[in-house]
Amino acid sequence: MKFLCALSFLLASAVAAAAPFGHLENVSTQRAVFLADKLVQKQPITYCVQKGDFETVTAPLADLALQTQAALNEWTRGVALHIEAAGRSKEFAGLLPLLKGAKFTEVPCDLSKHPAAGAFFLARKNAQEADITVLASAAYCEGHFHRTSSFYTEQMPPAKPFICLQTRYASIPSDKENLSQTGLSDEQKDILTNAKKVLSRTTAPDYSSDDQRRLWILNRLYSYDGPTYLAAVTHEMGHAFGLADEYTGISVDPLYKTAEPVSGIMKRLYDPLGCSEVDGMIILLDRYTHTARTFTSFCGDGVTFVSGVQKVAKNTPTKLRVRPGVLERWSLMPASPTTKAMLYESVRQADALDDDTRTAAASLGEADEIYSRGMVKAGGIRQGSWLFIARRGKQYRTARVQYNASGRVAQVRLVQLTATQAAKYFAEMKTAEKSPLSVDK
pLDDT value of residue 378: 86
Report the chain's mean pLDDT, rounded to a whole number. 90
Tally Cβ neighbours within 10 Å of residue 377.
17
Q: Pick from 240, 239, 218: which is nearest to 229 by CA?
A: 218
| Residues 352, 326 contacting (CB under 8 angstroms) | yes
Q: In what order do the strands lie in the sheet with 409-415?
A: 409-415, 395-403, 381-392, 369-377, 342-349, 326-332, 316-323, 439-440
Contact 218, 198 (CB under 8 A): yes
CA-CA distances (angstroms) from residue 347 to 29, 284, 371, 401? 27, 32, 4, 16
Give counts: helices (H), strands (E), the chain.
Answer: 14, 18
Per-residue pLDDT averaged across 275-288, rounded? Answer: 95
List CB contacts of 115: < 8 A, sequence separation 6 or more: 144, 156, 159
The percentage of residues in the chain with a pLDDT greater than 90, rounded to a whole number, is 75
DSSP 279-315: HHHHHHHHHHHT---EEE-TT-SS-EEETTEE--SS-
CB 116 within 8 A of CB 311: no
Mean pLDDT of 385-406: 96
> What residues pair up with 362 in beta bridges, in sequence order?
none
Is-contact 438 249, C-beta < 8 A? yes
pLDDT over 70 percentage in the chain? 92
Q: How far is CA 17 from each of CA 20, 215, 243, 369, rounded to the nearest angstrom?
A: 10, 19, 19, 39
- Tally of CB atoms within 10 A around 320: 21
Give dist(CA 422, CA 395) in Å, integer. 9
424 has pLDDT over 70: yes
Q: What is the mean pLDDT of residues 266-290?
A: 92
Q: Are 161 and 33 in contact (CB under 8 A)?
A: yes
**Contact 228/222 with Cβ under 8 angstroms?**
yes
Coil, strand or helix at 223: coil
pLDDT of res. 33: 95
Instruction: Note the pLDDT of residue 262.
Output: 56
pLDDT at 139 over 60: yes
Cis peptide before 157 (omega within 30 of 0): no
Backbone angles phi, psi at 157, to 5 degrees: -65, 155
Q: Are 46 and 286 in contact (CB under 8 A)?
A: no
C-alpha to C-alpha distance for 54 and 56, rounded to whole angstroms: 7
Residue 425 — very low, low, confident or very high, per pLDDT cuts 50/70/90?
A: very high
196-201 LR contacts (CB < 8 Å, sep 24+): 196/66, 196/172, 199/66, 199/67, 199/70, 199/172, 199/173, 199/230, 200/66
Q: Pick the closest to residue 363 from 329, 330, 405, 401 (CA basis).
A: 401
Contacts of 145 (CB under 8 A, 6+ apart): 151, 164
Residue 17 has a pLDDT of 36
Question: What pLDDT does residue 434 have?
Answer: 73
Q: Please report how the helices 7-14 and 209-221 are oriented relative to each other, as an axis angle in degrees rounded to 10.
A: 130
* Banded pLDDT at 82 (limits 50, 70, 90): very high
pLDDT band at 21 (very low <50, low <70, confident <90, very high): confident
Measured from the Cβ of residue 57, the count of other Cβ atoms closer than 10 Å reads: 18
Alpha-carbon distance of 221 to 5, in angstroms, equals 6
Q: pLDDT at position 433, please?
A: 77
The per-residue pLDDT for range 56-68, each reduced to its tens digit, is 999 999 999 999 9
